[in-house]
Amino acid sequence: MAATMRNVDEIRDRVILCEFDVKNVSDLLLGMPIYTHYTIIYLLQNFRIDLVQMDETSLEFDMVGIDAAIANAFRRILLAEVPTMAVEKVFIYNNTSIIQDEILAHRLGLIPIKADPRLFEYRNCHVEGDEEGTEIDTIQLQLKIKCTRNLRATKDSADPRELYLNHMVYSKDMKWVPIGNQADVFADIDIGPVHGDILLAQLRPGQELDIVMHCVKGIGQDHAKFSPVATASYRLLPEITLMETVEGEKAERLKRCFSPGVIEVENHGGKVVAKVVNSRLDTCSREVLRHEDLKNAVKLARVRDHFIFSVESTGILAPDVLVTEAIKVLMTKCRRFLSELDSTEME
């Protein structure tokens, strides 16, 4: 009976990696009695978020105790439903570079703009007379630059960086032009491109750019330029179990079958013995299953309800802020759904 319950727990809680297939992956089993434990009470008691690593642009955290559907919904919200500010309209007054107007406009549209979208409103582009935007829904940037010869360049120089001035157009050349009272409202905020070293175009003497850009608030669902993340992904927590003691040369080979830091060898009474140190680092390559004398010594699995999230921001907002905003979006969706249910019941 105990063995049977262990099998049930394994089917319910683990995804097993075999040599030629993966077991316990079907969601058709969710209606079976072994899954009746997954209730609201279970979720409230077991759900948690553990912060693993965070810096200015990236964040890694564990989301434990949820179903894959919820985890994937959270990932999709990060990608497509957390708003940002991006270039929407490009007014090209002069472009004598070799880059076509439409190509240059696309390049400008994909530049991440450092501006907190929470301080702006969505712009209604369908309202007559609202083409120019206002201080509450639009950021205006200007790119005005002209390439000239450097009269102080040495006679024999062939380096364009010495021969010409302003021949490399970077994103740092996009300057913020306040609209209305924006200069006072955002006096302490440096609005402009997140990264100043993005190459936009190369010019030669006599060529120039005179461009005005309007940035508006939007979401990645409308266009990828509004997506606040470079990557937002998750993976299940790997679990590696040694089914028997692995010693000597086999222990060294076992260590090489996994990513660095997963398996280490220790000296126990003069014997070299393999030990699982950090299965989290494993990439689940299943290399160990190619070795006949090792594949039965190890059991590879993934924890079904333990998700390792990796979020990399484009720099517009800090990654922890993005996660918080994604949670707010998910909460709004839940409230809307409950409201629809209530209205349906009343009808």
Q: Tell me, what DSSP letter sits at residue 36? A: T
Q: pLDDT of 25-74, one tens digit each? A: 875 555 555 555 567 777 778 889 999 999 999 999 999 988 888 999 99
pTM score: 0.85
| CA angle centred on 51, ends 45 and 53, rounded to 5° | 160
Q: According to the model, what pLDDT value does residue 1 have? A: 45
Fold agreement (9-80+231-243+297-310, 84-227): no
Higher-scoring residue by pLDDT: 120, 154: 120
Q: Which CATH superfamily is domain 84-227 in?
A: DNA-directed RNA polymerase, insert domain (2.170.120.12)
| pLDDT greater than 90 at residue 117 | yes
Q: Which of 19, 44, 24 is nearest to 34 (CA)?
A: 24
* pLDDT, mean of residues 173-198: 92
| pLDDT greater than 60 at residue 236 | yes
CA dist., res. 87 & res. 138, Å (int): 10
CA dist., res. 24 & res. 218, Å (int): 40
Give residue for tokens 């998750």.
234
CA dist., res. 70 & res. 40, Å (int): 13
The residues, any chain, with a CB within 8 Å of residue 319's CB and separated by 6 or more, are 54, 57, 58, 59, 311, 312, 313
CA dist., res. 180 & res. 88, Å (int): 19
- Domain boundary assignment for the chain: 9-80+231-243+297-310, 84-227
Q: According to the model, what pLDDT value does residue 127 have? A: 59
DSSP E strand stretches across 11-163: 14-17, 22-23, 48-54, 58-64, 84-95, 113-114, 139-146, 148-149
Q: pLDDT of 127-164, one tens digit each? A: 555 567 889 999 999 999 999 999 888 888 888 888 99
Residue type, 140: Q
In CATH terms, 9-80+231-243+297-310 corresponds, of 3.30.930.10, 3.30.1360.10, 1.20.1270.10, 3.20.20.140, to: 3.30.1360.10
